[in-house]
Chains A and B, each alone.
Chain A
Amino acid sequence: MLNPPDVKRVLEAALLAAQEPLGATELKRLFEGELGVDAIRRLLAELADEWKGRAVELVSLSSGWRFQTRPELQPYLERLFPERAPRYSRAVMETLAIIAYRQPVTRGDIEDVRGVGVSTQIIQALETRGWIDVVGHRETPGRPALYATTTKFLDDLGLRSLEELPPLEEIARTLQLEVVPTAEAEAAVTDTPEQAKTGTDG
């Protein structure tokens, strides 16, 4: 029987060597039934604590645990690997948000919210990334596909479940424009037209 520090070393090695996140059930196989899932979970939490403050952290995700670099180090790492991942366009991110927060939804539902057509390329980009998939069809004329987000989506965004998505903001009746505090921007904003009701923005 292994003692807890040894168990942690085995877990650590398995997680470091794994290509994909590993769940407690999979990790249990390392010990051929000698340890229960609860004990493994507890030791994983301890292990995550021990890695705090290092360049690499152990995080718990939807499909299991994964070691990853800390986000604040990314600007440095990018210099070493110049081919940085591109950002998705606003159209792609808005489509993703609607699928994530309102799933399952059809393409028509997405178009209703955005007020514009959703191109096939946008859906494909998200499908290819493995972030969304078709979970069924709505029984209306044309039987449109219903889209939902996947486990990989949660894993890739560092989330354990959809409940961990950033909460939807309550929208203010009126809103101050978020203005970049530069002389240029201020010049543009103070140039307020006649309809402005409440003084200056920003």
Chain B
Amino acid sequence: MMAKLYGEPVFELPHDLYIPPDALEIVLEAFEGPLDLLLYLIRKENLDILDIPMAPLTRQYLEYVEAMRKTNLELAAEYLVMAAMLMEIKSRLLLPRPPAAEVVEEDPRAELVRRLLEYERMKKAAQGLDELPQVGRDVIAISVWIEKTVSQRLPEVNSGDLAEAWRTLLHRARLSAHHRVSREELSVRAHMSSILRALKERRVVEFTELFEPQRGVSVLVVTFLALLELARELLVEITQSAGFGPIYVKLGHAQSA
């Protein structure tokens, strides 16, 4: 029972209109809407599309739609709108024509024919487009391997640079040692959080900016430990773009993601 219409399988409904429910679903899915179904009926019966015999076409269309409805398939509203339109055209054709001298009335079928022709044109155009070779489906764009600069390498921080930065800080801390440092609750974790908080706002911070030398050596030490811990847990990245250049601290990938 399988014919092909424009390359698409079409299951013809038996004329006694007994259709197993499964088959009907396939029938319905084979059509892209009422225009597609009408076009199929017209082409199947080899009707002249410019002079459509409305009575048999309407009858056939309604038989299909009725069969679809009987099997409780959810029938798109467009099918019913089209049914109403077909019946309207049919009834207008039956009305007596006004005397010839009067205004030339347009054929009631004209709009339907125009839509059918345009839909058929686009349907064929779609098939034409689909036949063009498509990148990724029918052809592969060629790109040979080319040696490019390897993915951006982050500068490595030399331990000496870190030690140097540290010494500078200690020196500054000693300069401000006359401040009496109150006993503070110093926790490495708390400093880790405050460093992360600072980074959340600014993303990249210069190493020295994270320290507050005026708060004394013990705070400096804890801040430094917090920073090392953050780096160890990959929560921050420490980078330096050139020897003796400024050292930057930024959020690690796990955090910024």
Contacts and interface: CB of A to CB of B under 8 A. Distances in A.
Interface of A: 16-19, 56, 66-71, 74, 77, 84-85, 87-88, 90-91, 93-94, 96-98, 100-102, 112-117, 155-159, 165-166, 168-169, 171-180, 184-185, 187-189, 191, 193, 195-198, 201
B96 interface: no
B129 A114 contact: no
Given A67-B142, A166-B128, 7 more contacts: A70-B139, A85-B136, A96-B129, A115-B34, A116-B76, A157-B133, A168-B125
Contacts of B140: 68-69, 74, 77
A37 B147 CA distance: 27
Q: Could you say which of B35, B44, B48 has the most chain A C-beta atoms within 10 Å of its C-beta?
A: B44
Nearest to A67: B142
Interface string B1-15: 111111110001001
Contacts of A169: 121, 124-125, 128
A82 B228 CA distance: 48
- The list of the 10 closest CB pairs from A to B, nearest first, reads A116-B33, A115-B35, A166-B128, A67-B142, A97-B126, A85-B137, A93-B126, A97-B125, A17-B146, A71-B133
A11 B82 CA distance: 58
B119 A188 contact: no
B138 interface: yes
Majority-rule SS of B interface residues? mixed
B144 interface: yes
Contact of B143 (A16, A84, A102, A155): A16
Interface string B23-38: 0000000001111100
A51 B237 CA distance: 50
B3 A168 contact: no
Contacts of A180: 2-4
A17 to B, nearest CB: 4
Interface of B: 1-8, 12, 15, 32-36, 43-50, 56, 60, 76, 78, 82, 115, 117-144, 146
A156 B132 CA distance: 9
Q: Could you say which of B49, B78, B143 has the most chain A C-beta atoms within 10 Å of its C-beta?
A: B143
Contact of A97 (B1, B44, B115, B129): B129
B49 A177 contact: no
B43 A175 contact: yes
B143 A19 contact: yes
A174 B49 contact: yes
A117 to B, nearest CB: 7
Contact of B122 (A77, A113, A201): A113
Contact of A193 (B15, B132, B143): B15
A156 B32 CA distance: 26
Contact of B32 (A87, A90, A174): A90
Contact of A171 (B32, B34, B120, B127): B120
A182 to B, nearest CB: 8
B46 A184 contact: no
Contacts of A189: 3
B144 A85 contact: no
Contacts of A98: 122, 125
